[in-house]
Amino acid sequence: MTVKRSDAGIKLGFVVAEFNRDLTYMMEIEAEEHAKFLGAKVTERLYVPGAYDMPLAIKKMLKESDVDAVVTIGCVIEGSTQHDEIVVQHAARKIIDLSLEFEKPVTLGISGPGMTRMEATERIEYGKRAVESAVKLVQRLELA
């Protein structure tokens, strides 16, 4: 499969969760700075209430936008129930499904489940890692 890309560089879409926004904001800033460092550009951005809400926004972005890859940015902190595990498992499964359906990378920049707020703060770089994965995968699919 060949991913078609313009001469302007790799175009990324960001889907960002607003839940735990103090953390996802920092993740988003690091992710955008890393995209610039790698020569990629964030051309689309959608904000959603939380990680569980990402799949519909990702699908809309993949259908209607000219992006080479979508980067997800979210943070799911452990609560008193197993809600965090359910949220991340289902979001991750649908994110994978959408990547396969649209044949474009959709990377997982969601930290959690099973982490405290302190651990979440230590994992701010997950957004940066998701950008790195998106850029590498677009480049490698072009060569395949």
Q: Which residues are catalytic?
A: 83
- Give the position of tokens 């259908």: 63
Whether residue 142 contacts residue 82, with contact meaning beta carbons closer than 8 Å, is answered with no
- Residue 56 makes CB contacts below 8 A (sequence gap 6+) with 48
Angle at 43 between CA 53 and CA 133, to 5 degrees: 70
Which residues lie closer than 8 Å to 61 by C-beta, 6 or more apart?
A: 13, 15, 44, 46, 67, 70
Helix then strand count (H, E) for the chain reads 5, 5
